[in-house]
Amino acid sequence: MHQPDTRPHALRNGGELRSTLADDPDMRELVGQFVESLGKRVTLLESLLLGGETAELRRAAHQLKGAGGGYGFDPISAAAGALERSVDAGASHEELRASMDELASLCRRASV
């Protein structure tokens, strides 16, 4: 069973973010597809944020929160959850932008 990631600082240093399920034969293929889809997902989140479509932004962040851990990316779930909570808290655009950047950076570094 995988452990929650206890190295948040290591994740901010630009290294690869590897799926904890990379060696799970049941999940390897799905994880690969998920990693490939992340670019598009970030683009969608960005455009929702830019367009001020907060309800849709919240929904997309909520979904990513629910799925990320299932693909072995707990940090992505955590960051998406933070973005969802920012929307719920009525955060300013700057705060949302910071949450988004955190999430986008993790997504870009994700690998199988």
Partner 1 sequence: MSGSAPVTRVLAIDDSEDIHAILRARLEREGLVLESAASGAEGLAAVLADPPALILLDLGLPGMDGFEVLRHLKDNDRTHSIPVIVLSGSDDAKDKVRGLDMGAVDYVCKPFDHYELSARLRVALRTQRLLEMLARRAQIDGLTGLWNREHFDARLADALATSARHGAPLALAYGDLDHFKSVNDTYGHSAGDAVLEGFADILLGELREADVAFRLGGEEFALLLPDTTVEESIAVLERIRASLAGVCWPRHPDRAITCSFGVADRGVGGSWEPSAWMEAADKALYAAKNAGRDRVMIAHGEEIEPAPC
SS3 labels along the chain: CCCCCCCHHHHCCCCCEECCCCCCCCCHHHHHHHHHHHHHHHHHHHHHHHCCCHHHHHHHHHHHHHHHHHHCCHHHHHHHHHHHHHHHCCCCHHHHHHHHHHHHHHHHHEEC
Site string for partner 1, 87-106 (x = CB under 8 A): --------------------
Stretch that binds partner 1, among 5-13, 48-56, 69-77, 102-110 (CB under 8 A): 69-77
Q: Counting contacts by CB under 8 A, is residue 82 touching partner 1?
A: no
| Out of 65, 87, 100, 102, the residue judged to bind partner 1 by CB under 8 A | 65
Q: Is 18 in the site for partner 1 (CB under 8 A)?
A: no
- Footprint of partner 1 on residues 25-64 (CB under 8 A)? 26-27, 30, 33-34, 59, 62-63
